[in-house]
């Protein structure tokens, strides 16, 4: 998922996508432990997507704080 796509999402969509990715990360980790993981790069990709979403959420929080202080 690209950062531009994430920035276009509204806050509810971001929270939903974050929840979905965290659930998917758990599933992929489980597959890695049981040695049934086909694509070893999935862990890295999912972690990066989660980080991107959390970054956008935090950026929006900071913007809201700055707007309320101004």
- Please state, as a whole number, how many other Cβ atoms lie within 10 Å of the Cβ of residue 21: 20
Amino acid 39: pLDDT: 87
Q: Give dist(CA 23, CA 4) in Å, integer.
A: 23
In tens, the pLDDT along 15-50 reads 999 999 999 999 999 998 998 888 889 999 999 999
Please, what CATH class does the domain formed by 3-69 belong to? mainly alpha
Would the pLDDT of 56 be above 80?
A: yes
Give dist(CA 20, CA 50) in Å, integer: 10
Q: How confident is the model at residue 1 (pLDDT cuts 50, 70, 90)?
A: confident
Q: Report the pLDDT value the prediction gives residue 50, as an integer from 0 to 100.
A: 97
How distant is the alpha carbon of residue 68 from its chain centre?
26
Report the interhelical angle of 11-33 vs 42-69 (nearest 10°): 150
Please tell me the predicted confidence (pLDDT) of residue 36: 85
């Amino acid at each position: 998922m690209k950062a531009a796509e994430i920035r276009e999402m509204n806050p509810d969509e971001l929270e939903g996508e974050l929840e979905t990715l965290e659930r998917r990360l758990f599933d992929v980790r489980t597959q890695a432990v049981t040695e049934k993981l086909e694509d070893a790069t999935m862990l890295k990709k999912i972690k990066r997507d989660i980080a991107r979403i959390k970054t956008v959420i935090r950026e929006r929080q900071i913007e809201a704080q700055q707007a309320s202080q101004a």
